[in-house]
Amino acid sequence: MCFKNLPIEFDQQGRARLMEGVRDPYGYQTKSLADDADKVKELLARNGYIKSVDFDPVTRVAGALAFHSVVDLKARKVLETNSMATLFRGYEIILKGRDPRDAAFISSRACGVCGGVHAATSALTLEMAFPVRPPPLGIVIRNLMLALEFWYDNPLHLFLLAGPDYSQSIVQTTNPEIYERAKHTLAPHTEVHGFRTISAIMDDLNPLSGGLYLEGLQMTRTAREAYVLLGGKYPHPETVIPGGMSTTISLTVFNEIYSRLRQLFDYCKKTVYIWDDIIDYFYDVNPEYKKVGARPANLIDPGIWDDPYAYDASYENCDAWGDRRWATPGVIVNGELVTTKLTAMNIGIEEFVEHSYYDQWTTKRYDTDPSGNPLSPYHMWNKDTKPHPAGQNWREKYSWSTTPRWDRKAMESECATRLWTTGVANVLPHRRFLEPTGHGLKLHIPMSTLPAMDLEWKVPEVWNAFERNRGRAYHLAMTTVVAFDNWLIGLDMLKKGYDKVHTKFEMPRRGEQIGVGFWGAGRGYLTHHMTIDNGAISNYQILTPSTWNASPKDPWGGMGPYEEAVLNTPILEEFSNAANYKGIDILRTIRSFDPCMPCTTHIHVDGTDNVITREVNTCACGIE
C-alpha cells in the first residue's frame, strides 16, 4: 500500500477506497510555529555569532523568490529557514469563466521561459475533458517539442545559472584551497570533454567569459531555433491545441530539426562527464559536501513523452498509458519507489494554505475522481483560489506559494526523478536508446563527432545539491535520445504518408466536464486541473515544480523542500569574519533546484554594513 498517512487503502482489484471507521478521514491538527520562532529570536539576541541572513529579490517576469535564514557562523550550521514566493500571478482566477479553448494560450503566459509546457499541459487537460484523442503523429510532435524545451532549460541551468557557483571566480574566492588543489587534479574524462584539469573546467565555467558559459548560451539558441520550426514562435506557441497540433509537418522540417538534434549527441556526452568530474572532485576534497542541500529522497513526477499508440486522453486508462511513457510516472518516498500509477499520485495530492497569503476554501465539489477513487477536500479539483494579502509573519503567513503535499509529505519536483522512476520501475516499453537496470538507467548515445557512448545514471546514495545538478546533466542526455527516438518514429510515419497531426472535436456546450493534464517542465512535475460548466471554465488549478519546492511550512510544521535542504546544509565556505561571509553553500543549495524565479539575491549580515549581491537568475528572461 503506497499511502502511510492518508486513510486510503486498495481492494483486491486495486481500487482505492477510504478506510472504514475513520470519523474525519482528511481532518488534521495545525501546529503553531510560535515556539520555534521565539527560540530563534532569543538566540539572535544573545549570541553575536548567530546571524539573520536574508535573500532579498528583485522581481522579474517569471516570478520572485525570497529566502530568510538564521545561521550559526561558529557552529557552521543553519538554524532557521523560510522560503517566500513574493509575487501573486493569479492565472487560476484569470481563467475562470473563459472559453476552455483559450486555456492553452492564456496558461502559457504563466512562464516566460517554459510557456510551451503549460500550453501542452493545458491541451492534455482539455483532451481529457472534451474528450478528444490526437493522432499518433500529433503526439510525436508534442513529444519532440517538449524535448526541445528541455534542450534550452537544462544547459541554461547547468552552465549559465548553477554552473558559475563552481567556477574559478567563485571557488577561488570562497574556498581558495579547493581551487588550488584543482590546478593539480587531472580530470578523469579528458578524452570526452577536453579539459585536462579540474581547474580548467572551473575556469571555463566563469560567467560571461568562460567557454562553457558561452557555449551553453549558444545551445539555448539552437534549442529555440529547433522549437519554432514546430511551435511557430516562443515562448508562447500558437500551434499547441487540444487534439494535437495546428502546424504543417514535412520531411524538410524534420531534416532541419535533425541538423540541430545531431549537435546534442556530443554536447550531452561532454555535459555529463563535466558534471561527473566536478561533483566527484568536490566529494573527494571534502565528503561534507555530500550534506550540502541534502534532504530525504521524496520525489514526485507524472512522467512525460506519451506513446503515440497508447495515449487516449482518458482518465479511466491513465494508469495504462502512463506506464507506456518514455519517462515513467512515479512517487519516491525515502528513496523507494512506492507507485507508478497516475491515479494514486493524483488522489494523494493536497494543497494547504495555512502559511500562504490565501483564505481557506470551504466548499467540496468532488468526493471522488472520475474513476471513483476518494478525493480530499484539499485536492486541486476541490480547490478555490482565494488570495488574501497580508503582512509577512514567520509564525503565520509568509508566502504566495501554497503548500502541496503527497500523502502529507513534502515532495520534491526534480527532472532527475524521471531517471529514477524509469530506471527502477523497469516498465519502459521504448528501449531503443534507454535501458532500465533496476538501480539506474543506461543511455545509449549515438555517434556524432565523438563515438557512440553508453552513459549510466545510478540512484545516488544521498540526495543533495550536487546530485540534483548531476541528475540534470543526465536528464539532458535522456532528453536527447528520447527526442531522437521520436524523430525516427515521426520520420517513419511521414515516409509512409501518415501526416495527420490533429483530430477535430466539438467542444461541449452543456453539462459538466472534468480533466487533468499530467505533464512536466524542465524542473519536473507539472499538472493542470480543470472543471467546465456549460461551456465555460469554472475552476482551473496549476501546480508547478516550484510550487512544490518553494512551498512554505505545512499545517504540521513540516518544511518545504527549499527550507529543509538549506537547513541541512553545513557552512563549508572559508571566511575570516562575518563581514566576509558570502553564503555560497546556501546559494548552491537554492540554485540546485533550478527555481523558476529570476531574482537577485542579497545577503545582509547583522551587525555589519556588508550586503552581498549574487545573481540567481534561474530563467534568464533578460538574456538577449
Domain membership flag for residue 6: no
Domain membership flag for residue 620: no
Domain membership flag for residue 154: yes
- In this prediction, residues 65-75 reach a mean pLDDT of 87
- In this prediction, residues 519-540 reach a mean pLDDT of 96
- In this prediction, residues 405-434 reach a mean pLDDT of 98
C-alpha cell at 432: 531503443
Q: Minimum mean pLDDT among 103-117, 145-159, 290-304: which range?
A: 103-117
Given this model, what pLDDT does residue 504 score? 95
Domain membership flag for residue 34: no
Q: Where are the beta strands (DSSP E) in 459-609?
A: 512-521, 524-533, 536-543, 600-605
C-alpha cell at 242: 487540444
Distance of CA 552 to the CA centre of its chain: 17
Beginning with the edge strand found earlier in the chain, give each strand of the sheet holding 440-445 in spatial order: 434-436, 440-445, 453-458
Domain membership flag for residue 417: yes
Three-class DSSP category at 253: helix
Given this model, what pLDDT does residue 47 score? 78
* Residue 568 contacts residue 291 (beta carbons within 8 Å): yes
- In this prediction, residues 452-474 reach a mean pLDDT of 98
Buried b (16+ CB within 10 A) or exposed e, 72-86: ebeeeebbbbbbbbb
Q: What is the CA radius of gyration of the chain?
A: 24
Dihedral of CA 349/352/357/361: which sign? positive
Q: Minimum mean pLDDT among 29-33, 87-91, 524-528, 606-610: which range?
A: 606-610
Domain membership flag for residue 35: no
Buried b (16+ CB within 10 A) or exposed e, 460-489: beebbbbbbbbbbbbbbbbbbbbbbbbbeb
Distance of CA 381 to the CA centre of its chain: 22
pLDDT value at 78 more than 90: yes
Given this model, what pLDDT does residue 293 score? 98
Residue with the three cell numbers 502529507 = 408
pLDDT value at 606 more than 50: no
Distance of CA 152 to the CA centre of its chain: 14
Given this model, what pLDDT does residue 608 score? 42
pLDDT value at 600 more than 60: no
- In this prediction, residues 57-81 reach a mean pLDDT of 73
Given this model, what pLDDT does residue 57 score? 53
Greater confidence (413 vs 363) lies with 413
pTM reported for the whole predicted model: 0.93
DSSP symbols for 9-25: EE-TTS-EEEPTT-SST
* Residue 168 contacts residue 209 (beta carbons within 8 Å): no
Three-class DSSP category at 605: strand
Buried b (16+ CB within 10 A) or exposed e, 534-572: eeebbbbbbbbbbbbbbbbbbbeebbbbbbbbbbbbbbb
Given this model, what pLDDT does residue 112 score? 66
- In this prediction, residues 76-82 reach a mean pLDDT of 93
In percent, the amount of the chain with pLDDT more than 90 equals 79
Given this model, what pLDDT does residue 123 score? 96
Domain membership flag for residue 5: no
Domain membership flag for residue 481: yes
Distance in angstroms (rounded) separating the CA atoms of residues 337 and 427? 13
Distance in angstroms (rounded) separating the CA atoms of residues 12 and 14? 5
C-alpha cell at 411: 515532495
Q: Which residues contact 411 (CB under 8 A, 6 or more apart)?
A: 298, 299, 300, 331, 404, 405, 548, 561
Domain holding 75: CATH number? 1.10.645.10
- In order of 140, 149, 317, 547, the CA distances from 593 in angstroms are 29, 17, 32, 12
Torsion angle, alpha carbons of 311, 312, 314, 317, to 10: -60
pLDDT value at 205 more than 60: yes
Given this model, what pLDDT does residue 118 score? 94
pLDDT value at 442 more than 70: yes
Residue with the three cell numbers 561571509 = 581
Q: Where are the beta strands (DSSP E) in 402-488?
A: 403-406, 434-436, 440-445, 453-458
pLDDT value at 611 more than 90: no
* Residue 474 contacts residue 419 (beta carbons within 8 Å): yes
- In this prediction, residues 574-594 reach a mean pLDDT of 90
Distance of CA 327 to the CA centre of its chain: 14
Three-class DSSP category at 477: helix
Given this model, what pLDDT does residue 56 score? 64
Per-residue pLDDT band at 68 (split at 50, 70, 90): confident
Dihedral of CA 530/148/597/589: which sign? positive
pLDDT value at 44 more than 60: yes
* Residue 542 contacts residue 92 (beta carbons within 8 Å): yes
Q: Minimum mean pLDDT among 1-5, 188-192, 468-472: which range?
A: 1-5
Distance in angstroms (rounded) separating the CA atoms of residues 78 and 205? 28
* Per-residue pLDDT tens over the stretch 131-157: 999 999 999 999 999 999 999 999 999
* Residue 364 contacts residue 383 (beta carbons within 8 Å): no
pLDDT value at 91 more than 90: no
* Per-residue pLDDT tens over the stretch 384-418: 999 999 988 899 999 999 999 999 999 999 999 99
Q: Which amino acid is at 486?
A: N
Per-residue pLDDT band at 602 (split at 50, 70, 90): very low
Given this model, what pLDDT does residue 62 score? 38
pLDDT value at 510 more than 80: yes
Could you say which DSSP state residue 360 is in?
Answer: P
Per-residue pLDDT band at 283 (split at 50, 70, 90): very high
pLDDT value at 618 more than 80: no
Dihedral of CA 560/564/566/567: which sign? positive
Per DSSP, what are the bridge partners of residue 502?
244
Number of domains in the chain: 1
Greater confidence (139 vs 362) lies with 139
Per-residue pLDDT band at 363 (split at 50, 70, 90): confident
Three-class DSSP category at 347: helix
* Per-residue pLDDT tens over the stretch 316-327: 999 999 999 999
DSSP symbols for 416-448: THHHHHHHHH---S--SSEEE-SSEEEEEEPPS
* Residue 508 contacts residue 487 (beta carbons within 8 Å): no
Three-class DSSP category at 351: strand
Q: Minimum mean pLDDT among 61-70, 382-391, 514-523: which range?
A: 61-70
- In order of 243, 545, 547, 603, the CA distances from 524 in angstroms are 24, 6, 11, 28
* Residue 236 contacts residue 109 (beta carbons within 8 Å): yes
Per DSSP, what are the bridge partners of residue 520?
525
pLDDT value at 527 more than 60: yes
Q: Is 376 left (phi over 0), alpha (psi -120 to 50) or beta?
A: beta
pLDDT value at 61 more than 50: no
Given this model, what pLDDT does residue 108 score? 84
- In this prediction, residues 7-26 reach a mean pLDDT of 93
Q: For the chain, give percent helix, strand, coil, nearest 5.
A: 40, 20, 45
Distance in angstroms (rounded) separating the CA atoms of residues 226 and 211? 23
Could you say which DSSP state residue 315 is in?
Answer: S
The mean of the pLDDT values for the chain is: 91
Strands 16-18 and 50-55: unpaired
The enclosing H or E element of 10 equals: strand 8-10
pLDDT value at 233 more than 90: no
Could you say which DSSP state residue 535 is in?
Answer: T
Is residue 448 classed exposed, middle or buried when 0-12, 13-18 and 19+ CB atoms within 10 A define those classes?
middle
Domain that holds residue 489: 52-615
Distance in angstroms (rounded) separating the CA atoms of residues 535 and 241? 17
